[in-house]
Amino acid sequence: MTVGEFCLPLRVYIEDTDAGGIVYYVNYLKFMERARTEFMRELGFGKDYIFNRDLMFVVRAVTVQYLRPAALDDELQATVELRRLRGAAMDLRQRVRRGAQVLARGDVTIACVDRAGLKPRRLPPEMVRVLQSVPRAGSQV
């Protein structure tokens, strides 16, 4: 774990795998999504906060590198690190690991949009305040 890294423990179930018992590639994105959701919940911005405002978060961009396979019953960790905050978006670095071994890594840009028109809108000020207190990826202790 690094400074500012949120970590969600996971286990690989049969539904996560292909016919060979290897995690199907799209499920790494699902693991990363779960970690982002729990990261925001941990900061106080769970579904109640989001649903009670005229906003949504959407993936604007994602790049993923698949490095090693995970298999049925593996214990994994999906991590999130905040890299950068912008007016209506945040850039995150994510990893899926088995112990210290990185299996997949991704960079994700999440955009804040209004619920009705799906147009970009600034991150809420209270969210910005909390996110600004989260150490950034690559920061020193």
Q: Which of 16, 18, 54, 74 is labelled catalytic?
A: 18
9-27 pLDDT tens trace:
999 999 999 999 999 999 9
Residue 82 domain-assigned? yes
As a whole number of angstroms, the distance between CA 102 and CA 78 comes to 10
Look up 18 and say whether it is catalytic. yes
| Whether 30 contacts 88, CB under 8 Å | no
Residue 137 domain-assigned? no
CATH for 12: 3.10.129.10
Residue 75 domain-assigned? yes
Residue 68 domain-assigned? yes
Residue 26 domain-assigned? yes
Q: In the chain, how many domains are there?
A: 1
Residue span of the structural domain in which 45 resides: 5-132
Residue 140 domain-assigned? no
88-129 pLDDT tens trace:
999 999 999 999 999 999 999 999 999 889 999 999 999 999
Residue 59 domain-assigned? yes
Residue 138 domain-assigned? no
Mean pLDDT computed over every residue of the chain: 92
